[in-house]
Amino acid sequence: MRASLILTLALMAMTTACSSVKVPGPPSRATVAPAAPREADVLALGRKVADWQLARLDSFDYIRTFKHNTVDPRGWIQGALYTGLFTFADRTGDPKYAEALLAHGVEQDWQLGRRPLHADDHAISQSWLWAYGKTPDPVRIAALRTRFDAILADQPTGDLAFQDGVGEPPCQTRWCWSDALYMAPPAWFGLSRVTGDPRYAAYADREFWATTDYLLDKDQSLYFRDSRYFTRRDDQGRKIFWSRGNGWSYAGIVNVLKLLPANHPSRPRYVALFRAMSDRLVDLQKADGYWAPSLLAPEGSPPETSGTAFFTYGLAWGVNTGHLTGPRYRIAADRGWSALARAVTPDGKLTWVQQVGYAPEQVEPDDTQLYGVGAFLLAASEVARKPH
């Protein structure tokens, strides 16, 4: 009787504690495959997250929660949000998302970030290319063409070694960090596609593989974030592969494949890389559906939604397009989506997003960021789509 009473009181205490949590907590570690998500449910949740974010783009209270107190409207943080939003706009056909994108382009005069060579300041141009695809007004890609033509006329040739302690390392005139493979190559391939000029695609293809040959760990099929991590190890002697850093690269590969012609000579190499990364990522997914901030260090790791969203997006895209066959890829994508859905609050805030950084760090329950929402919308767009 006494033992039963103690157990009852303990369960009541646990219930009371859980009811006071305002954001999603660490999920259960169920290992069974979740039920396949319903298209309507996925899109409804995507709308809720998108609407929550768009309503707070200019909110001081929201911006104040970031480590970085300002968000450059032409920088990579907003650029990453809008890549997810235009994908979701196409998936849903909802005009309010397209209108938000077009309004942002007009407000920014279709310009790019201030650093001519830096990949982060090319990311926003992916949205300008999307807008050009809707209405081929040359004004929408004029600044982009000017920027990329100048790069082609005087191409950077420095090495890819990252210099620690330098504000903007010289290597960043090229794509010397894994994030850059998301920010820049789709813009180069996209510009080549809409203009018919093969020079842009040739440049992107060459630079993509220079970066990959340099940063990809061939044994793990994962990217080091940059050259500083070639020799760094965690406290158990394991290599450090940052989840979001690999998420940027993995989603970047997907976005390149979406633009690359079927007969492009490098396409088989991109597909092979995508499949190799997919196999490794499926193996590294935790039982709760998330991927750890440090991919080889799952023990005790918190939920983290930005890397998880990019991986879920890529896996779902691979299944939907037939690049990935077999049930384990769909199961992994569904688990990833289930984990992401648990990280959304009732009002639509995406939580557990690691803040701006360049390595695995602590993640807090209330953390969110624009790029996390962009990745979430990419995932929603593909998880809701049927294979063909």
**Residue 102: is its pLDDT beyond 60?**
yes
pLDDT of residue 388: 65
- Average per-residue pLDDT in the chain? 91
**Residue 68: is its pLDDT beyond 50?**
no
Domain housing 253: 45-383
pLDDT of residue 7: 37
pLDDT digits (tens, 9 = 90+) for 311-361: 999 999 999 999 999 999 999 999 999 999 999 999 999 999 999 999 999
Residues assigned a catalytic role: 179
Q: How far is CA 258 from CA 110, 207, 271, 318, 325, in A?
A: 23, 18, 11, 11, 18
pLDDT of residue 354: 97
Q: How does residue 51 score in pLDDT terms, banded at 50, 70 and 90?
A: very high
Identify whether 273 is part of a domain: yes
Q: What's the whole-number mean pLDDT along residues 366-373?
A: 96
pLDDT of residue 70: 54
Q: What is the pTM of this model?
A: 0.91
pLDDT of residue 166: 87
Q: How far is CA 35 from CA 28, 331, 338, 382, in A?
A: 15, 9, 9, 16
Identify whether 294 is part of a domain: yes
Q: Using a pLDDT cut of 90, give the percent of the chain over it.
A: 85
What is the rounded end-to-end Cα distance, in angstroms, of the chain? 59
Cα 102 to the center of its chain, rounded Å: 22
Q: How does residue 24 score in pLDDT terms, banded at 50, 70 and 90?
A: low
Tokens 């859980």, located at residue: 18
pLDDT of residue 164: 86
Identify whether 378 is part of a domain: yes
Q: How far is CA 328 from CA 32, 101, 281, 319, in A?
A: 12, 35, 11, 10
Identify whether 336 is part of a domain: yes
pLDDT of residue 370: 96
Identify whether 1 is part of a domain: no
**Residue 12: is its pLDDT beyond 60?**
no
Identify whether 29 is part of a domain: no
CB 344 within 8 A of CB 379: no
Asked which of 8-22, 127-141, 300-314 is least confident by mean pLDDT, the reply is 8-22
CATH of the domain at 183: 1.50.10.10
Asked which of 164-173, 211-220, 277-286 is least confident by mean pLDDT, the reply is 164-173
The tokens describing 304, both together, are: 């983290």
Identify whether 159 is part of a domain: yes
Identify whether 39 is part of a domain: no
CB 354 within 8 A of CB 293: yes
Domain count, the chain: 1
pLDDT digits (tens, 9 = 90+) for 308-322: 999 999 999 999 999
**Residue 385: is its pLDDT beyond 60?**
yes
